[in-house]
Structure 1
Amino acid sequence: MGDLVTERLVLHPMSVNEAERIATGEPAVDSSWEPGFPTEDDVAVAKRFLERCANTGDPRPFGPYVIRRRSDHRAIGGVDFHRPPDEHGSVTIGYGLVPSARGGGYASEALRALLSLARAQGVASVKGDADHDNTASQHVMMAAGMRPVGEDARVRYFAVSWNP
């Protein structure tokens, strides 16, 4: 599985070597990380990916992707499928950016690319959620084409579905 390229971004499928560096916070000599990368969430995703690879193999294309700006190739965040599709063809996504990259539409652009990949891979639905007070994340999902489908005391749930 190769890179997903958008107008301003490259979503690079995370490799085991990259995950190990992200998990320890040590960039490769030729790596360009935006200040603040990796975030705590990026580290958690990398560790979960390494565990999954050790237990069941590389989940590509349903794994994590490092988000890089095309203009300077700096890693600014990540977007991922939490797991491969379930028995109903559904996946759950997550994403995040370093603070300096927020507010410029990068998260929505990255999420649209991931949704397009999911649809091309035959996924029936994609789910996500955001805390009630995280209106920025809610806007990201809606801008990418996901719609609110429910809520509980803590979070608001979003989804997009396609006909088989």
Structure 2
Amino acid sequence: MDDLVTERLILHPMTVAEAERVVAGLPGDTDRWAPGYPDVYDVKGARDFLTACAGPGNPQPFGTYEIRRREDGRAIGGLGFNRPPDAAGTTVIGYALIPSVRGRGYATEALRGLLEFARAAGVRRVTGDTDHDNTASQRVMAAAGMRPAGEDERVRYYAIDWAAAPPS
């Protein structure tokens, strides 16, 4: 699968070998990691991706992506789908950036890019959630077009719905 490209970012579909290096914290010869990458969320995302690959198989294009800056190619975080779309066309997203690059609009830009891809791929609904006190993540989802969709004692839920796949 090809990279997804936005104005400032490259959303690179993670391979099994790349995920293994992220989990190990050992970049390969071709990996370009910004200082602080991978963080705990990147390692969790890579582990989840490897678990999916070992079970039902590689979920790409509905798997994990490295967020890389176009200006220098360095990985600064990750995002992706927690699972392929279900029979109703619904999937779940997650994302994280290393602390040193937060507050620059990268998360919103990356999420918009992934949502555009999902819609073009025929996904009907994307959901996500965030802790009640994570207002930054709430702002990211809202800025990317997701809307509040409920809450429980632990998290707030967000969703974006499309009535039908976009015209070809």
CA distance in 2, matches of 1:95, 1:51: 18
Mapping of residues 34-113 of structure 1, within 5 Å: 34-113=34-113
Alignment RMSD (CA, Å): 0.7
**Cα deviation per residue 1:54-96 (whole Å; 9 max; x = unaligned)?**
1222111100000000011110000110000012110000000
Quote the offset at 1:154 in angstroms.
1.4
CA distance in 2, matches of 1:75, 1:17: 15
Quote the offset at 1:29 in angstroms.
2.0
The aligned counterpart of 1:149 is 149
Q: Report the count of equivalent residues.
A: 164
The aligned counterpart of 1:22 is 22
Unaligned runs of 5+ in 2: none
CA distance in 2, matches of 1:85, 1:30: 31
Unaligned runs of 5+ in 1: none
CA distance in 1, matches of 2:6, 2:47: 26
CA distance in 1, matches of 2:144, 2:43: 25
Letter in structure 2 aligned against 1:116: E
Superposed structure 1 runs of 4+ greater than 2 Å apart: none
Letter in structure 1 aligned against 2:69: R
SS at match of 1:103: coil
TM-score (norm 1): 0.98
CA distance in 1, matches of 2:150, 2:25: 36
Quote the offset at 1:30 in angstroms.
2.7
SS at match of 1:56: coil
CA distance in 2, matches of 1:56, 1:152: 30
Q: Share of identical aligned residues, percent? A: 62
CA distance in 1, matches of 2:148, 2:49: 28
